[in-house]
Amino acid sequence: MGIQSIGIVGAGQMGNGIAHVSALAGYDVVMNDVSQDSLTKAVGLIDKNLTRQVSREKISEDEKNAALGRISTTLKLAELGQCDLIIEAATERETIKQAIFEDLLPHLKPETILTSNTSSISITRLASRTDRPEKFMGFHFMNPVPVMQLVELIRGIATDEPTFKACLEVVERLGKTAASAEDFPAFIVNRILMPMINEAVYTLYEGVGSVKSIDESMKLGANHPMGPLELADFIGLDTCLAIMNVLHDGLADTKYRPCPLLTKYVEAGWLGRKTDRGFYDYRGEVPVPTR
């Protein structure tokens, strides 16, 4: 039968994007979060983003309505138990993810595949705490999910071939491209991207450049579509810090030391776009650098 239904845990910026593309590809989607506010916002955003796709003639009004009709939301994790595939996309903290899988296990069908959208946490370790490490994988989407083409598929040590193939089929049905990565800290994209972002924060911290000059330098000098600090705000500074900590702890190399200024922004609750302030202040008409 293959995978027909997808349960998504966490309705933040990644969860809502994953729900959007899954429903559009014809999967039944159940989205869960601990916050009703996050669920309500997620459905509103999906509606808005689908409407934008209609106005750009990428999808029809009927396709939009059908996709919205396939998405349901719940505060009860147990209601995801009957899904064929779970994609966990909650906050990047290992204790949170472990607790989610622990709570979910008693409600699952034996054949359900478990995956995590984690940017950096060990898939093997998350899998080992479940009753089905062979049916556990990393399913790592890029942000914004409806726009970005890549999905990293990460096998844990125990992941079996049917599980990998089933996930690969989902990636293809979503119209995306899979890259297979081994289960080492931060996998491929973030192993390369995050040290660059962290270095940009050090460049700011040491006074080598301002927010504006650093971002402009990388856009105009290296042809990056976004500056590294702008990109950090877009990803979320808490997520960036969490990934640097995983690289630092997991590879035990001081070159991955998170910049103290990144830590300071997170301590201030200035997490980037999602809190309206990070390296830029987004509360006005145009983003204004905060340093």
Sites of contact with ligand NAD (CB under 6 A): 9-15, 32-35, 38, 89-92, 96, 100, 117-119, 140-143, 235-236, 239, 274
Closer to ligand NAD by CB, 38 or 73: give it.
38
Question: For residue 258, what is the DSSP state?
Answer: P
- Render 129-194 in DSSP notation, one character per residue: TSS-GGGEEEEEE-SSTTT--EEEEEE-TT--HHHHHHHHHHHHHTT-EEEEE-SSTTTTHHHHHH
Cα-based distances in Å from 168 to 4, 10, 116, 241, 287: 14, 22, 14, 29, 38
Catalytic residue among 119, 120, 122, 198: 119
Dump strand ranges (E) for 27-124. Answer: 28-32, 71-74, 85-88, 113-116
Closer to ligand NAD by CB, 27 or 141: give it.
141
Residue 119 annotated as catalytic: yes
Dump strand ranges (E) for 186-246. Answer: none
One-letter amino acid at 115 equals: T
Cα-based distances in Å from 206 to 19, 149, 211, 256: 41, 35, 12, 17
Catalytic residue among 49, 116, 140, 198: 140
What is the closest distance, in whole angstroms, from the C-beta atom of residue 99 to ligand NAD in the complex?
Answer: 6
What is the C-alpha R_g of the chain?
A: 19
Say if residues 241 and 266 touch (Cβ distance below 8 Å).
Answer: yes
Residue 217 annotated as catalytic: no
Catalytic residue among 32, 117, 190, 198: 190
Residue 285 annotated as catalytic: no
What is the closest distance, in whole angstroms, from the C-beta atom of residue 148 to ligand NAD in the complex?
Answer: 9
What is the closest distance, in whole angstroms, from the C-beta atom of residue 261 to ligand NAD in the complex?
Answer: 20
Say if residues 160 and 133 touch (Cβ distance below 8 Å).
Answer: no
Closer to ligand NAD by CB, 54 or 179: give it.
179
What is the closest distance, in whole angstroms, from the C-beta atom of residue 112 to ligand NAD in the complex?
Answer: 17
Residue 140 annotated as catalytic: yes
Say if residues 177 and 151 touch (Cβ distance below 8 Å).
Answer: yes
Residue nearest to ligand NAD (CB): 12
Closer to ligand NAD by CB, 108 or 142: give it.
142
What is the closest distance, in whole angstroms, from the C-beta atom of residue 207 to ligand NAD in the complex?
Answer: 28
What is the closest distance, in whole angstroms, from the C-beta atom of residue 54 to ligand NAD in the complex?
Answer: 24
Closer to ligand NAD by CB, 66 or 189: give it.
189
Closer to ligand NAD by CB, 15 or 287: give it.
15
Q: Is 288 helix (H, G, I), strand (E, B) or coil?
A: strand
The dihedral of CA 58, 41, 231, 279: what is its sign? positive
Catalytic residues: 119, 140, 152, 190
